[in-house]
């Protein structure tokens, strides 16, 4: 599941997992990696904290290239630590993958798109990626608080929290929609009053169809 901040990815991912495999403990977090030994897991914890902890008060010191390379190093983990996630019979529903990280990087700085994508070339691709096309104003109404990185504080947005969220997430959504169109990904557009169960049911139907395809 992919989408802007507040689009409902986590909720839909959890519901899809429950519908396809009731009682399953399939992972639903892109920041969740279970290593085989405590030492490797401890290293993963340090990297997770470095990337996704609270931002520096003085702003983005090192720039977008620094962060996207760190994020790529995180995503290299599942390929080595969780090879089971790519088994044909394994269900792994994730609330986001690295596509949004690339989208936000391109919003932050005018880096070459292919350069920003290239560190992720070794990372396994999901069999199906669904982009939830939720309008920023709808996403903003779903939550009371957003992190600095979700309202564009590192990206030149200095207005009110509401205005900054709308402006920043609109640009991120534009990048995600461009990638989804280029790669032929399904892009459902839930209405503001649509229950997440309806969206999850549509996604689960698409997964079942994919599993039946030789």
Token pair for 95: 């609330």
Banded pLDDT at 201 (limits 50, 70, 90): very high
Q: Where are the alpha helices (DSSP H) in the chain?
A: 9-20, 38-52, 64-81, 99-108, 113-117, 136-142, 161-183, 196-212
**What is the predicted pLDDT for the residue at 62?**
85
**What is the predicted pLDDT for the residue at 67?**
93
- pLDDT, mean of residues 182-203: 95
- Hey, where are the domains in the chain? 9-212
pLDDT digits (tens, 9 = 90+) for 156-167: 888 899 999 999
Q: How far apart are CA 9 and CA 126, in angstroms?
A: 15
Q: Is the pLDDT at 54 greater than 70, yes or no?
A: no
Q: Is the pLDDT at 122 greater than 80, yes or no?
A: yes
pLDDT digits (tens, 9 = 90+) for 142-189: 888 888 889 998 888 888 999 999 999 999 999 999 999 999 999 999
**What is the predicted pLDDT for the residue at 175?**
97
**What is the predicted pLDDT for the residue at 196?**
96
Q: Is the pLDDT at 27 greater than 60, yes or no?
A: no
Q: Is the pLDDT at 211 greater than 90, yes or no?
A: no
- pLDDT, mean of residues 119-142: 93
Tell me the average pLDDT of the chain.
88
**What is the predicted pLDDT for the residue at 69?**
96
**What is the predicted pLDDT for the residue at 58?**
62
Lookup result for tokens 């461009």: 178
SS3 112: coil
Lookup result for tokens 């620094």: 66
CATH number of 9-212: 3.40.50.300
């Amino acid at each position: 599941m992919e989408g802007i901040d507040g689009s409902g990815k986590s909720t839909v991912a959890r519901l899809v997992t429950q519908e396809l495999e009731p009682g399953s403990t399939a992972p639903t977090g892109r920041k969740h990696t279970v290593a085989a030994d405590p030492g490797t897991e401890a290293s993963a914890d340090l990297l997770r904290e470095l990337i996704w902890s609270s931002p520096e008060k003085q702003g983005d010191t090192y720039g977008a290239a620094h962060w996207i390379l760190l994020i790529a190093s995180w995503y290299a983990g599942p390929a080595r630590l969780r090879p089971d996630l790519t088994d044909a019979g394994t269900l792994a529903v994730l609330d986001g993958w690295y596509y949004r990280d690339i989208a936000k990087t391109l919003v932050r700085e005018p880096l070459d798109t292919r350069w920003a994508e290239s560190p992720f070339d070794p990372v396994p691709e999901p069999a199906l990626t669904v982009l939830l096309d939720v309008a920023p104003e709808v996403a903003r109404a779903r939550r009371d608080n957003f992190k600095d990185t979700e309202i564009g504080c590192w990206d030149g947005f200095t207005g009110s929290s509401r205005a900054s969220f709308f402006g920043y997430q609109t640009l991120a959504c534009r990048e995600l929609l461009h990638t989804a169109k280029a790669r032929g990904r399904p892009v459902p557009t839930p209405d503001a009053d649509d229950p997440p169960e309806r969206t999850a049911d549509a996604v689960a139907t698409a997964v079942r169809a994919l599993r039946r395809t030789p």
